[in-house]
Structure 1
Amino acid sequence: MARPSLLIVLLAVSCHRTSGFALRGPVHARRCLTSAPFARRTLCATPRPRAAPTSTRRLIAKHRLSSVPVELSAAEATDVPQAPTPATASSSSGPSLLATGTSFTAIVVADFVLRRAFVRAGIAFPPSLAGMVVLFAGLVVLERAAPKSAEDIVSSLEPGAALLARWLPVFFAPSLVVLPLSPPPSSVNALKLLLLVCGGWFVSLSSTAAVVGALSPPADASTTDSAAPPKTLAPVFRGPFVRGLGAGAVVSGVLAVAGGSGQAPGALLTKLSKPAAQLSLLLATLFGFSAGTRMPRRVSKAVHPVVMCSAVAMGTAAAIGKGVGLGFADMLRSYLTRSRCPVHLGAGDVLLGLLGPSVLSFAVQMYRRRNLIFEDAKQVAAGSVFCASSGLFGTALVSRLLGLPTTLRLAALSRNITSPLAMAICSLIGADPSLAIAIVVLTGVIGANFGATALDALGVKDPAARGLAQGGSAHGLGTAAMVNEPTAFAFSAVSMALTATASTVLVSIPSVRTALVRLALGAAAGVPAAP
């Protein structure tokens, strides 16, 4: 059995030894910017700035965001080039391994405690989402009363949040790996589903941009982001680390086959066969993802790293199953057991279990963007709520009109919601999580490839409208594609989190959930009870 402690070490070491930029937060940036030589040059060269007019706040936000690392949630942060800034160029090391591990563990433990408390209280609302909202609100209130205390808390949680952000796509890969266990749709239904996803994405993108644009003041030319292509930078994961994951997967796979083939030289090797198999599947999943991030951009746009790591995990499961005499389906079932007993957990269960902590860590990212949220609260709130409600009910109506099977109708409802909360919605409405995640990934890939082009064709220039539309319609993958537009990128990250949050809150309301499911399935359809 793959142990969570081993996973923590692997993930933390990867972030500590690869690109340290994603783990360095604003505290590190301030230390570099306030170092004596740099501070003297800066203070002597520029006078103390006056308060900026309201019309230039987005330009200020753009400058502020370009100086502070921005973490994706939802997203799929591996698509984002990790560019060095003046704050990070002077140092190549991020937070210590101990600090990262401590922060990561604190977030995981907090999520575990919340889940246990919600189960005991019989609350159906997703505990990680509730924790995210409470933590964000608490930090905002604390920042008003004791700014230093709020900053200390956020700084201590940032390494763990950055670790989760970097590996976030892997945490929903298990649902794709076990997708072959679900009955495949017919070719006609597959075409209908593709029409629903593509059409739904474009309608969400264009309508959200129109709503936000109608509420936004005319944008100055100076606030428009430049559309220069992103620089080609070093991969997120370095070669030795990726090769180490691959070698570990091969070695543990060989041990699993040797122990499970019936010809093992000792009883110990036989007992280690199943744990070695799950360790091999875990390392293979991580290897496929980290190797996928090193592919050329034109390749990763066609085959996303999540798809690649899922394919590698499937291939590894097939190879080990053949060696130990188990079928492919049996290996996939052992990969993701969905058991609550730690002894029976598979590699996929360990990865999937980190989705909750990832949602909880969104509070740290949202806190760092609180100024954007508050300064443009009207546009942010309107865009997020509109995109969430229209996405849910519009998808329900169109899927019913297209005559899709029940399983596809329910799975498609979360098409534009970032994966961790899409999983929460699946549990509330009784949808197949594997199908739902596959639809989420397809929507994100479409948005990442065509979102900016579509917005240009629609004449959307305002960074707020571009970002809110992209993040709301294509979640984290679409957000990652906006990295060359700094202000729009920040709005997209906020929209991704708030749209998913609003969608989950709506579905968590029993009356709204009943109306949504009946719209999708028909008035006579039964509505799944919340777990």
Structure 2
Amino acid sequence: MQAANKNSSKLVRAWFYVPLGITIILAVNFGVDSIFYKFNVSFPASVTCMVLLFFALIASESLLGTHKTRKLVNIIDVPAGWSLRWMGIFFTPSFVLLPLSPPIGIFEVMIIIAIFVIGFFIMMAMAAWITRSLQLALGVSRRSRSQRAEELGRQTPDLSTGDLNSPVNAVEALNPTTVLTQIPLPPPKAELWAARISANLDVAIFVGLFAFIGIPLYYSTGYAMPLHLAVNVLAWFGALSVTPKWKEYLHPVLVSSLATVLVIWALAEIRGDSLTTTLHAYRTGAKYIQLWRNATSKQDLLPGAGDVFGTLLDASIVALALPMFQYRRELRTHFISIVIPNVAISVGSLLAYPPLCYACGISAARSLAFASRSLTLALAVPATVNLGGDVNTAAALAIISGILGAVLGARILRWLRVPDDDYVTRGVTLGVNSSAIATSVLLRTDPRAAALSSLSMSLFGTITVLFTSIPPAAAFVRGLVGL
């Protein structure tokens, strides 16, 4: 009975309160985007709302007090915590859609890989050493170490950034140590089945969506969103089930994206559709902003699974304000150590990457895309558009940078002799080089570093977008590649 009550409460939270909260976040996003659209401002509303929410919570703490602000944070955390836990899957569309990219020669591919890998390690080293040197020069490193010791001793975070489908969470209510001795323990089989149902409830829901809604709808009407959505989510669950030993190299974003492409391709062939056709159905361009902006006009464009994930990614970007607020004091203390590396690497990326890539034989459009290599996807796209670069290349570079940081970031920082307790250098370095994907990993492993990473990636992206939004600056960068 206790497990059933907990499951019903979880379902109400997941299928009512979370969608309601996400809708409110998206509505505010849409309002900000509408203002930007009216004044022809090329800047993502999600990043703006993240910054606005962060400062709004700080103002609330000053005006309303800590107790009321904590209640407000707990309310916001219902949709925000959910979106942060699922953040990784929202990056998969960029990889799923890679087959739609323009053809490219093998020689150019090899040059792109070489410049990307070498540049990634150089930028990681620059960010780490600049940040570390600033801390030592400002005398804040020793103080941070004692604060970090307190953080490591605290096991329960304030925000719900744990694993959505963790078996530990699923069977918590069934732990015999929590049951009063007067109440008889449930039979072992009942306990086992309850734990299995609780742990696999989400999988069962999406299997049902695939079999009873997605398949019939796709093969009768051609509308693919429910089918593609179920395939993508089930592929994500499968990628998460990879053993930790292999998961270090087989990142869930890569594994689930590849599995999604193969499965939806096979399903499309059965219907007689090509891979190109089904990928265009996977993302039609009908995100919430386009749908709401054209709500009064007659349009037949329906969202695809990629549009759903893109919509939810906007909510996740806004939700990053919560870990930033949780560690606001650390952000204030280390502000200089965050700003200087971000400005230096942003300017360096704009001035160094495009001419270097172009001189090595990469096309002008793809060379310009390298300027946005390590930006989070929400900021990489407008920055690349401002420069006139190849958006598909920029998206792929941004996602791969994030995955490399998530997989190899900790190891690279050890090679650079960055102490494990230096959360400032870890957060800034990964935020500048690997953006939101690495931040989503830090949310589980090092929340304080995740807060610095969130601010760092936002500041880095904002600086880059601002530079590319200035016509003379954008023209100068384009001139470096002969445009």
User: 1:328-347 alignment to 2 at 5 Å?
Assistant: 328-339=275-286, 340=290, 343-345=300-302, 346-347=304-305
* Structure 1 residues 171 and 484: alpha-carbon distance in aligned structure 2, compared to 1, 3 A threshold: closer
Query: Cα offset for 1:234?
Result: 7.4
Whole-Å separation in 1 of the counterparts to 2:101 and 2:69: 46
Equivalent residue for 1:274, pick from 211, 219, 222: 222
Structure 2 contact 218–227 (Cα < 8 Å) conserved = no
Q: Which residues of 2 match residues 32-181 of structure 1 at below 5 A?
A: 97-147=15-65, 148=67, 150-181=69-100
Equivalent position of 2:190 in the other structure: none
Q: 1:448 aligns with which of 406, 419, 435?
A: 406
Aligned counterpart for 1:204 among listed residues 110, 114, 123: 123
* CA contact 1:445–1:477 (8 Å) conserved in 2: yes
Contact (CA 8 Å) 1:198, 1:446: kept in 2 or not? no
Which amino acid is the alignment partner of residue 491 of structure 1? L
Residue 239 of structure 1 is matched in structure 2 by: 200
CA distance in 2, matches of 1:350, 1:432: 23
Where does residue 181 of structure 2 map in the other structure? Answer: none
Report if aligned partners of 2:251, 2:407 keep a CA contact under 8 Å in 1.
Answer: no
Choose from 306, 319, 331 the match for 2:253: 306
486 and 195 in structure 1: CA distance in 2 versus 1, 3 angstrom threshold: same
Change (3 A) 1:343 1:166: farther
- 1:106 shift after superposition: 0.9
Equivalence for 2:429: 469
Distance in 2, matches of 1:192 and 1:488, equals 33
Q: Is the 8 A contact 1:198 1:443 kept in 2?
A: no
Shift in alpha-carbon separation, 1:484–1:472, aligned structure 2, 3 A: same
Structure 1 residue 437 displacement after superposition: 2.3
Give, in whole Å, the separation in 1 of the partners of 2:397 and 2:339.
25
Counterpart contact for 2:365–2:388, Cα < 8 Å: no
Residues 455/429 of structure 1: CA separation in 2 closer, same or farther (3 Å cut): same
Number of aligned residue pairs: 418
Tell me how far apart the structure 1 counterparts of residues 379 and 311 of structure 2 sit (CA, whole Å): 13
Which moves more between the two structures, 189-198 or 300-309?
Answer: 300-309
Question: 1:153, 1:506 → 2: CA distance?
Answer: 35
Partner of residue 458 from structure 2, selected from 477, 483, 497 = 497
In 2, distance between residues paired with 1:367 and 1:17? 30
**Residues 114 and 127, structure 1, Cα contact 8 Å, conserved in 2:** yes
CA distance in 2, matches of 1:94, 1:456: 44
Q: Per residue, is there more helix in 1 or in 2?
A: 2
Counterpart code for 1:185: I
Flag structure 2 segments of 5+ consecutive residues without an equivalent.
1-5, 156-161, 167-198, 292-298
Output one character per residue of 1:68-114: Cα deviation in whole Å (capped at 9) or x when no partner: xxxxxxxxxxxxxxxxxxxxxxxx99967543233212101111222
* 401, 404, 408: which one aligns with 2:362: 404
Question: Where in structure 1 are there 5+ consecutive unaligned residues?
Answer: 1-15, 21-91, 260-272, 526-531
User: Could you say if the C-alpha distance between residues 507 and 300 of structure 1 is closer, same or farther in structure 2, counting changes exceeding 3 Å?
Assistant: farther
**Which letter does structure 1 place at the counterpart of 2:374?**
N
- The equivalent residue for 1:478 is 438
Matches within 5 A, 1:24-35: none
Q: Which amino acid aligns with 1:115?
A: D
- TM-score (norm: length of structure 1): 0.70
Q: Secondary structure at the match of 1:413?
A: helix
Q: Is the 8 A contact 2:372 2:394 kept in 1?
A: yes
State the match for 2:391 in structure 1.
Answer: 433
Change beyond 3 A, Cα 1:313–1:486: closer
Call closer, same or farther: CA 1:420–1:164 in 2, change over 3 Å.
Answer: farther
Equivalent position of 1:185 in the other structure: 104
TM-score by length of 2: 0.76
| Separation (CA, whole Å) in 2 of partners of 1:234 and 1:123 | 37
8 Å contact 2:439–2:453 — kept in the other structure?
Answer: yes
Matched residues, percent identical? 24
Tell me, in whole angstroms, the C-alpha distance in 1 between the residues paired with 2:402 and 2:464. 17
Give, as a single letter, the amino acid of the residue that structure 2 aligns with 1:337.
Answer: T
In structure 2, distance between residues paired with 1:119 and 1:157? 27
Among 195, 216, 239, the alignment partner of 1:292 is 239
